[in-house]
Structure 1
């Protein structure tokens, strides 16, 4: 293997990126001394940017005190983090458990739904990425039915499918970086039908949570109230912490069902301290409203380029979750050109899509610079 490679190929990266040795805010520094503006937020995780002082201070302080106590014990910081998370997720009287990865959180959310309903079937929206493994990560196992397949069913077949569905699971718009925002009316209709049949709504906020869309969570743009919310990525600003939030009603049903779950890094104080610092920083810095403003600036700038007909098309976004399509077969070229201009973005070559997920602390000047770099690529 060559320097900088791994046993597995990198996903969504069409160009080679130099080694990164430091980061501050939206900017990464490479071994060659070059600055790159990170419009991917790491793996869509560094919502507060790199090296955020409040998050770093909380991490260091807790690491010095105690990092890990095991799931049999508790710590005051864990209780505070759980309470604040439930509050911003709209379930102030609910319960939460802290975990280590977003995929694990989605899997536990579906396990909770299966436990309390007695049904392990899952209804999902096609094209939405849910998990790297397990039931949510294996849509071809027979447990999962897409909403499109469900809508094509006749009366009796539809009723039979609903009888097997324990949850409808929704990812509010990321769709593996393609930014396919769900139709609010369709979501409400499907959720109502599943709930009428005794199923739950599980929302995957691993990518869309913690301010990415201009609200705390993506589901808050829709007229739904989840039973279970899975979070990750932005929850730790790059530190690996995730969580599952459930309403009080579901917490009571879990207790009655006798579900028990334990893993080594459940409710670690270090992860709790980081998550709590992230929540407090988003509030203190007014990043929800700032994300709305910067997102509008970004999509408006790209829309102006699209209006010229020079190669940018289908601009779409919500907050600082943005994507646009380029001419067929040119996504790799566009990504490489933007990297040469100092902007790190993602590319989906199969869909000719460039994705733009900058940290919420991105400045107006950085967004203007990015739009100018896209314009320069188009006119070169």
Structure 2
């Protein structure tokens, strides 16, 4: 029988250390909200492949859709011989996206491709090059995406000069207010980059790697006003927040603010590599033929999965289910904040089933414990729960269970997390 230890040794010899893993377990099979490693041990999954399998591992409708497509063809290249399910998925997203006017969509494979292509489209539409992002934001690991990401280590430290014309404004967190953020943006326009040079402002409705910090409605409204005034494209990075995770199909819907472009990925493919950009039609059509695309972009298998994902979200009412999951998790975390037998934790933050909480330096303290979340997550894995950390200082435990998880399984996982929090 294969073991985690044996596979770790093989990995060390064959795979570079630059790709890290949150756990030392090697997956053998998964179903719904459960995963089994190669040694046969069962785990409850509160990571969902980093918010990818929102509809659960191997949902029957996803498997059926992909098998049906596989029976016809697996690849032609949309740039060579296009196919209907790419168009059908674009039509579904165009209808659902919270944009003004007619929308169009294009598909890729990874979240970084989605954010970078959103910027390319914005640059083509405006004839400008500047991009403004936020501290703590995460937009991917390719070079431009790394430049937009608001965290140096490990995303920028070793990789030399980042692409130019990328600027960062402070995100409202840890004593920084929305007014502070907007004032800093206005000062940036006055001191660093004239707004007439800025193509896009990109922001996550909830920061993912940054610690599950909800972007305040007032900030999004302020950005929308400035973008409209200066002819700048507002990009909502929905790679992690999209597709029912926050209780809405798109996270930015909570604010009522309408962006110009939306980058999507992760949960759209239901476990198959799929990403895309949805945007206002006149903006999307700014790029000449051949300027966008990719060999595997909008794979027919992934598009089949994407259509099934949207069907499952609608038929199983997963937006409502996300709200219920968030309520259960938040109430449980609230009970942990006052317990002296647990390590100190802060209040839950997030929206829907995208919930995080911070590890604190002491009971009653507001100062976070740098690296504290990783230690808790490691103990949780030992107990049989897969859960991830995040945050600029590694202080946040993030909970991303599949939206199809049962209440019983959710509470069993929370029991294991509580065990990992024992002081």
- TM-score, length-scaled by structure 2: 0.83
Change in 2 beyond 3 A, CA 1:160/1:42: closer
Distance 1:262 1:156 in 2: 33
Counterpart of 2:339?
308
Two-structure CA RMSD over aligned residues (Å): 2.3
Query: Could you tell me how far 1:137 is from its partner in structure 2?
Result: 1.9
Change in 2 beyond 3 A, CA 1:78/1:180: same
Structure 1 spans left out of the alignment, 5+ residues: none
Structure 2 residue corresponding to 1:146, chosen from 160, 165, 168: 168
Structure 2 residue corresponding to 1:272, chosen from 294, 300, 303: 303
Counterpart of 1:109?
118
Q: How many residues align?
A: 376
In the alignment, does 2:270 pair up with 1:237? Answer: yes
Distance 2:348 2:386 in 1: 18
Query: Could you tell me how far 1:177 is from its partner in structure 2?
Result: 5.6
In the alignment, does 2:44 pair up with 1:37? Answer: yes
* Partner SS, residue 389 of structure 2: strand
In the alignment, does 2:97 pair up with 1:89? Answer: yes
Distance 1:221 1:261 in 2: 30
Which structure has more RCO (C-alpha within 8 Å, separation ≥ 6)? 1
The answer (yes or no) to whether the contact 1:28–1:38 under 8 Å persists in 2 is yes
Change in 2 beyond 3 A, CA 1:12/1:182: farther
Change in 2 beyond 3 A, CA 1:166/1:30: same
* Partner SS, residue 9 of structure 2: coil
Change in 2 beyond 3 A, CA 1:198/1:346: same
Distance 1:306 1:283 in 2: 35
Structure 2 spans left out of the alignment, 5+ residues: 1-7, 149-161, 171-180, 361-368
Counterpart of 1:80?
88
The answer (yes or no) to whether the contact 1:93–1:247 under 8 Å persists in 2 is yes
Counterpart of 2:378?
336
Distance 1:213 1:174 in 2: 12
Distance 1:66 1:156 in 2: 51
Change in 2 beyond 3 A, CA 1:214/1:268: same
Counterpart of 1:376?
419
The answer (yes or no) to whether the contact 2:330–2:348 under 8 Å persists in 1 is yes
The answer (yes or no) to whether the contact 2:30–2:58 under 8 Å persists in 1 is yes
The answer (yes or no) to whether the contact 1:299–1:317 under 8 Å persists in 2 is no
Change in 2 beyond 3 A, CA 1:332/1:75: closer
Change in 2 beyond 3 A, CA 1:2/1:230: same
The answer (yes or no) to whether the contact 1:150–1:158 under 8 Å persists in 2 is no
Structure 1 residue corresponding to 2:141, chosen from 115, 132, 147: 132
* Partner SS, residue 200 of structure 2: strand
- Describe the superposition over 1:260-318 as per-residue Cα deviations: whole angstroms up to 9, x where unpaired: 32321233322211111111111111111011111111111111111335422242121
The answer (yes or no) to whether the contact 1:123–1:169 under 8 Å persists in 2 is yes
Quick check: 364-373 or 20-29, which moved more?
364-373
- Describe the superposition over 1:15-36 as per-residue Cα deviations: whole angstroms up to 9, x where unpaired: x432211010000011221110
Distance 1:160 1:378 in 2: 46
Change in 2 beyond 3 A, CA 1:150/1:114: farther
